[in-house]
């Protein structure tokens, strides 16, 4: 049986890397960031911890060259679609298992058909009266478990 893959799912760090969030991230095999880093240093620091899958958000003006607004990739046996703002999805790629997005700062975890839609919320600055949050996804084969973490 293959080893379970632990994936930190974060968004909207806005230049803030909180010690309690970093402690969780450091225990993960991969990091998915759904945009709004606000600076290159935040992205570089996360990428030094574990392989980083990322897209730019509306506040990532620093990311001028090679700007990725969407990213498709596979982890374990699951196919992911990553975007910052869910409202910008015009068509979902076929066979997508998980959509990860950010932007609203509100934690969302819902199934629509066979697809999991996950917004880890914001783990940067508290805004809109919402709690700070992130998620850890444990993947083994095509099975997964989501753990919501309030910071």
Angle between helix 19-26 and 40-49 (nearest 10): 40
How many structural domains comprise the chain?
1
Rounded CA gap, 143 and 145, in Å?
7
The first and second tokens of residue 89, run together, are: 């999805």
- 11, β-bridge pairs: none
**Can you give the residue range of the structural domain that contains 62?**
5-150
Report whether pLDDT(135) > 80.
yes
* Stated pTM of the model: 0.95
CB contact at 8 A, 68 and 44: no
- 79, β-bridge pairs: 74
Residues 113-131 have pLDDT tens digits of 999 999 999 998 888 788 9
Report whether pLDDT(31) > 70.
yes
CB contact at 8 A, 31 and 139: no
Rounded CA gap, 103 and 120, in Å?
10
| Nearest one of 14, 19, 21 to 35, comparing CA atoms | 14
pLDDT tier at 66 (50, 70, 90 boundaries)?
low
pLDDT tier at 3 (50, 70, 90 boundaries)?
confident
Rounded CA gap, 49 and 46, in Å?
5
Report whether pLDDT(65) > 80.
no
pLDDT tier at 1 (50, 70, 90 boundaries)?
low
Report whether pLDDT(73) > 80.
yes
CATH of residue 29: 3.60.21.10
Report whether pLDDT(54) > 70.
yes
| Nearest one of 39, 7, 13, 17 to 135, comparing CA atoms | 7
């Amino acid at each position: 049986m293959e080893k379970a893959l632990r994936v930190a799912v974060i968004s909207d760090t806005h230049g803030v890397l909180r010690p309690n969030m970093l402690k969780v991230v450091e225990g993960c095999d991969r990091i998915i960031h759904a945009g709004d880093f606000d600076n290159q240093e935040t992205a570089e620091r996360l990428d030094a911890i574990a392989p980083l899958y990322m897209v730019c958000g509306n506040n990532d003006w620093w990311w001028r060259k090679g700007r990725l607004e969407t990213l498709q990739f596979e982890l374990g046996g699951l196919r992911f679609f990553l975007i910052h703002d869910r409202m910008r999805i015009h068509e979902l790629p076929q066979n997508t298992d998980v959509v990860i997005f950010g932007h609203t700062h509100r934690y969302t975890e819902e199934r629509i058909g066979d697809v999991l839609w996950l917004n880890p919320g914001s783990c940067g600055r508290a805004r809109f009266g919402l709690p700070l949050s992130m998620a850890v996804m444990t993947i083994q084969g095509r099975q997964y478990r989501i753990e919501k973490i309030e910071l």
